[in-house]
Amino acid sequence: MRYMGSYKDGRVLLRLYIQPRSSRNGFVGIYGDAVKLAITAPPVDGKANKAVVGFLASFFKIKKKDISIKHGLQSRTKSVLLAGLASDEIQTRIETVLE
């Protein structure tokens, strides 16, 4: 679980490595201490960031307002804060897809 951290209020910080301009959206593996996320959107005018938030909201079935990019708005490496899910639930969903 090196790619996640938890806050006392229940929010979870998820470290992501973004691969923009991919052929599909989805988690594709582990990259260092982050989960690698492929996104079809280009890294131009915030399109990739919007795609990341949209994908995570859909994947975890939470509202977009419960997701915020804390670090890395202009970087491939991002720290994303998620509310409304426990860290063990997030880990289980990600690991299920990566298997």
Mean pLDDT of 13-25: 97
Domain holding 39, by residue range, is 4-98
Q: What CATH number is associated with residue 41?
A: 3.30.1200.10
How many angstroms separate the CA atoms of 20 and 8, rounded?
Answer: 32
Question: Could you report the per-residue pLDDT of 45-68, keeping only the tens digit for each?
Answer: 999 999 999 999 999 999 999 999
What per-residue confidence (pLDDT) applies to 1?
60
Question: Could you report the per-residue pLDDT of 77-94, keeping only the tens digit for each?
Answer: 999 999 999 999 999 999
How many angstroms separate the CA atoms of 14 and 4, rounded?
Answer: 5
- Quote the number of domains for the chain: 1
Structure token pair of residue 74: 């202009």
Confirm whether pTM is higher than 0.75: yes
